[in-house]
Amino acid sequence: MFLYLNGDYIKSEEAAISPFDHGFLYGLGLFETFRTYHGHPFLLDDHFHRLHEGAKAIGIELPEYKREDTCRIIHQLLELNNLEDGYFRWNVSAGEREIGLSHENYFSPNTIVIVKPLPQQTPREKEAVFLQTTRNTPEGTNRLKSHHFLNNLLGKRELGDQPGTEGIFLTENGEIAEGIVSNIYWVKKGTLYTPSEDSGALNGITRQFILKLAETTGLNTEEGLYGPESLLSAEEAFISNSIQEITALSSVKGRKLPGANGCSFKLISAEYKKHLTSLWSRLELTGRGID
């Protein structure tokens, strides 16, 4: 496979960065995962808005985002790898500096863009279980899409090889946070609930889009801190991420749910699919551009 590294397209086995990169030494790095639909990178502007906000928070200086330049890299990688569409990881690490914590900004980050084939099928339904591994608190004010992924890895190791199941993190206080690689939602009496960022959950790009989409379909939305009993008493529930899209939950902790037959799931999924080949930002749903 070919990847992109700091302006060059090279074979993956030829890629190398310095061992003094502070993304490697101290986890000072960020990434975005997204996919294309008939060549269109869905919600690309939202992904890069988050990437730039995260970089600013940890002192990585990035060049101004230009959609045309970014799309050129995306389409070149698709062509080089003989792919119509792909699963992209756009990775930025702080760059090379001497060993030791630094208080100064990083002006020469490494940018690595990796593409791989999309999964042939993504499940429409999964079961959910609560993990014993608790969700750690963010390193800063809010959780960033950063290289600090040990908590997720420990959750995955606890769950094991169960592709039809998603593990759900609870906070130290026993509140629902998110899945190992997903945000979670449930519906009760016409209201869509999802844990707030105060739970330590990542404010996923697909999460933001679903909340905006729910408003257009007439569903009320509520973000907050909720115990497991709130989810266990739900009428239906689902999870989301940018690659697997929206996946219905057929059960939570053994309690059966309607899964893909849930009315709200079907409504939101149908609306979601209408925009996959056109939208650059969730804000276009209300006629706005990215802030």
Identify the structural domains of the chain with CATH numbers, from first to last: 2-116 (3.30.470.10), 125-273 (3.20.10.10)
Give the pLDDT mean for 139-167.
96
Q: Report the pLDDT value the prediction gives residue 289, as an integer from 0 to 100.
A: 53
Give CA–CA dist 111/35, Å, rounded: 18
Does the pLDDT at position 16 exceed 70? yes
Question: Collapsing DSSP states into helix, strand and coil, what is residue 112?
Answer: strand
Closest CA to 83 of 119, 117, 36, 121: 117
Tens digit of each residue's pLDDT (9 = 90 or more) over 120-144: 888 889 999 999 999 999 999 999 9
User: At residue 213, does pLDDT exceed 70?
Assistant: yes
Say whether 279 sits in a helix, a strand or coil.
coil
Work out whether strand 183-188 and strand 191-195 pair parallel, antiparallel, or are unpaired.
Answer: antiparallel
pLDDT at position 17 over 90:
yes
pLDDT at 286: 79
Residues 35 and 242 sit within 8 Å (Cβ to Cβ): yes
Maximum pairwise Cα distance, the chain: 56
Is residue 49 packed enough to be buried (19+ CB in 10 Å), middle (13-18) or exposed (0-12)? middle
The continuous run of DSSP H or E covering 217 comes out as none
Secondary-structure percent of the chain, ordered helix, strand, coil, rounded to 5: 30, 30, 40
Q: Which amino acid makes up residue 257?
A: L
pLDDT reported for residue 288? 59
Mean pLDDT for 153-166 is 97
What pLDDT, on the 0 to 100 scale, is given for residue 197?
97
- DSSP code at position 174: S
Mean pLDDT estimate for the chain = 96
Provide mean pLDDT across the span 202-220. 95
Grouping H, G, I as helix, E, B as strand and the rest as coil, residue 37 is strand
Structure tokens at 95: 């760059």
pLDDT at 291 over 60: no
Asked if residue 187 has pLDDT above 60, the reply is yes
Count of beta carbons in the 10 Å neighbourhood of residue 164: 9
pLDDT for 60-99, tens place per residue?
A: 999 999 999 999 999 999 999 999 999 999 999 999 999 9
For the cut 80, the answer to whether the pLDDT of residue 287 exceeds it is no
Angle at 67 between CA 109 and CA 291, to 5 degrees: 90
pLDDT over 90 for what percent of the chain? 94
C-alpha pair distances (Å), 16 with each of 28, 100, 120, 227, 279? 17, 22, 30, 45, 34
User: What percent of the chain clears pLDDT 70, i.e. is strictly above it?
Assistant: 99
Segment 278-286 shows an average pLDDT of 94
The per-residue pLDDT for range 26-62, each reduced to its tens digit, is 999 999 999 999 999 999 999 999 999 999 999 999 9
Model pLDDT, residue 72: 98
Give the pLDDT mean for 263-283.
Answer: 97
